[in-house]
Amino acid sequence: GSHTMTCGPTVNFSAATSAALENAVTATINLTISPATTAAETFTVTIGAGTATYGTDYSTTPAGPSTFVVNVPLGATSASFTVTLINDAITEGDETVPFTITGSSGGLSIGSSSSHVFTITDDDNTPTIDFSTLNITVLETAGAQTFTLSFLPTTHPSGSLTIQVTNGPGVVYGSDYTTTPAGGSGTFVVSFGPNVASVSFTATVINDVLAESTETVTFTILSVPVGFAIGANNTATLVIGDNDSPPAVLLPGDLAIVGVNANDNGCSSDRDFISFFCFKEITFGTELILTDNGYERCNAGQWGNTEGTVRMVRTGPAIPAGQVVTFQVNNSGTNVVGMAPDAGWSCTSIGITGTRIALNNGGEQIFFMQGGTWNPGTSNAHNATYTGGSVLYAFSTNPSPPWTAHCSTDPNQRSNLPPGVECFSMAPTSATDFSKYIGPTTSATQRDWIIRIDNTANWSSYPDCNQYWSNGYNWSTAPILPITPGTMTHGLWRGAINGDWFECKNWDDARIPDAATNVVVNATANLNCIVGLSTGLNPGGTGVCATFSQVGGTGTKHMIVDVNSTLNVGGLFRIDNTGSASTLYSTVSTNATLNAGSVEIRGYDATVRSILRAQSIGGVIDVGGNLTIDQGGSLVLGVNSTNYGTCHLGGNFINTQGELNFDENYGRVVMDGTGDQYIQNSNPVENFYDLQVNKPGGDVYLTAPIAIRHQLDLTQGRIFSTPTDLVTLNSGATAINASDASFVHGPLARVGNTPFTFPVGKGTSYRPCGLLDYTASSTFTAEYFPVNPETAIGPLVLPTTLHHISHCEYWTIDRNAGGNARVQLSWDTPESCGVTNGALFELRVARWNGSNWDDRGNGGYTGTFTAGTIVSAAVETAFSPWTLASVTANNPLPIELLSFTATPNGSQVDLRWSTASEQDNAFFTVERGTDGNTFDALWQVPGAGNSQTVQEYADRDASPLPGLSYYRLRQTDFDGTTTVSPAVPVLFRDPQGHLTVVYGTDGTFVQHDFAAGSTMEVLDATGRMAGPAVSVEQGAMRIPADHLAHGAYLVRITDGLRSETVRFVH
pLDDT bin (cut points 50, 70, 90) of residue 674 is very high
**Mean pLDDT within 167-196:** 96
Tell me the residue type at 31: L
Write b or e for each residue in 753-763: b if 16 or more Cβ atoms lie within 10 A of its Cβ, otherwise e. Answer: beebbbbbbbb
Asked if the domains at 752-893 and 896-986 fall in one CATH topology, the answer is no
pLDDT bin (cut points 50, 70, 90) of residue 954 is very high
pLDDT of residue 4: 42
pLDDT of residue 557: 77
368: pLDDT strictly greater than 50 = yes
pLDDT bin (cut points 50, 70, 90) of residue 553 is low
Q: Which CATH architecture has domain 989-1065?
A: Sandwich (2.60)
* Cα–Cα nearest to 331, from 406, 381, 272, 251: 272
**Mean pLDDT within 315-344:** 95
154, 465, 930, 972, 976 from 924: Cα distances, Å: 129, 102, 20, 6, 12
How far is 204 from 141, CA to CA, in rounded Å?
A: 10
pLDDT bin (cut points 50, 70, 90) of residue 917 is low
pLDDT of residue 581: 76
* Cα–Cα nearest to 42, from 81, 97, 84, 4: 81
Instruction: Supply the mean pLDDT for the chain.
Output: 91
Please provide the size of the chain in residues. 1066
pLDDT bin (cut points 50, 70, 90) of residue 3 is very low
1034: pLDDT strictly greater than 80 = no
**Mean pLDDT within 346-355:** 96
Consecutive H or E run containing 789:
helix 789-792
Q: What's the pTM value of the predicted model, to 2 decimals?
A: 0.67
pLDDT bin (cut points 50, 70, 90) of residue 11 is very high
993: pLDDT strictly greater than 60 = no
pLDDT of residue 1032: 86
985: pLDDT strictly greater than 90 = no
Lowest mean pLDDT among 234-248, 305-319, 786-800, 842-856: 786-800
pLDDT bin (cut points 50, 70, 90) of residue 123 is confident
pLDDT of residue 1: 38
Residues 421, 252 contacting (CB under 8 angstroms): yes
How far is 375 from 352, CA to CA, in rounded Å?
A: 9
pLDDT of residue 997: 82
How far is 245 from 248, CA to CA, in rounded Å?
A: 9
How far is 743 from 886, CA to CA, in rounded Å?
A: 27
Strand partners, 758: 769
**Mean pLDDT within 905-928:** 84
Consecutive H or E run containing 1015:
strand 1015-1019
Lowest mean pLDDT among 249-263, 361-375, 1027-1041: 1027-1041
Which has the higher per-residue pLDDT, 678 or 959? 678
**Mean pLDDT within 339-358:** 96
How far is 984 from 900, CA to CA, in rounded Å?
A: 8
**Mean pLDDT within 808-823:** 95
How far is 65 from 54, CA to CA, in rounded Å?
A: 6
Domain 752-893 adopts which CATH fold? Answer: Chondroitinase Ac; Chain A, domain 3 (2.60.220)
* 723 DSSP assignment: S
Tell me the residue type at 197: A
Which has the higher per-residue pLDDT, 920 or 84? 84
How far is 519 from 514, CA to CA, in rounded Å?
A: 10
| Residue 217: Cβ-neighbour burial (10 angstroms; 0-12, 13-18, 19+) | buried
Consecutive H or E run containing 447:
helix 446-454
* Cα–Cα nearest to 260, from 475, 576, 443: 475
What Rg value do the Cα atoms of the chain yield, rounded? 48
Q: What percent of the chain has pLDDT over 70?
A: 96
pLDDT of residue 541: 95
DSSP 99-133: EEEEEE-TT-EE-S--EEEEEEE------EEEES-
pLDDT of residue 5: 47
**Mean pLDDT within 397-404:** 79
pLDDT of residue 899: 80
DSSP 656-693: -S-GGGEE-TT-EEEE--SS-EEEEESSS-EEEEEEEE
Which has the higher per-residue pLDDT, 711 or 155? 711
Lowest mean pLDDT among 635-649, 815-829, 960-974: 960-974
Residues 624, 598 contacting (CB under 8 angstroms): yes
**Mean pLDDT within 286-293:** 98
How far is 1024 from 1015, CA to CA, in rounded Å?
A: 16
Residues 359, 379 contacting (CB under 8 angstroms): no
506: pLDDT strictly greater than 70 = yes
- Provide the residue ranges of all domains of the chain, joining segments of one domain with +: 10-121, 128-241, 255-439+460-477, 492-671, 672-746, 752-893, 896-986, 989-1065
pLDDT of residue 523: 85
| Start-to-end Cα distance in the chain | 114
Residues 929, 881 contacting (CB under 8 angstroms): no
pLDDT of residue 919: 67
Q: What are phi and psi of 763, to 5 degrees?
A: 65, -125
Tell me the CATH number for domain 128-241.
Answer: 2.60.40.2030
CATH superfamily of the 896-986 domain? Immunoglobulins (2.60.40.10)
Q: What percent of the chain has pLDDT over 90?
A: 70
* Cα–Cα nearest to 900, from 849, 937, 832, 954: 954
Q: Which residues contact 840 (CB under 8 A, 6 or more apart)?
A: 861, 863, 864, 865, 868, 870, 891
pLDDT bin (cut points 50, 70, 90) of residue 282 is very high
**Mean pLDDT within 23-44:** 95
519, 747, 783 from 547: Cα distances, Å: 6, 39, 43
Q: Which CATH architecture has domain 10-121?
A: Sandwich (2.60)
Lowest mean pLDDT among 150-159, 568-577, 958-967, 1054-1063: 1054-1063
Which has the higher per-residue pLDDT, 16 or 126? 16
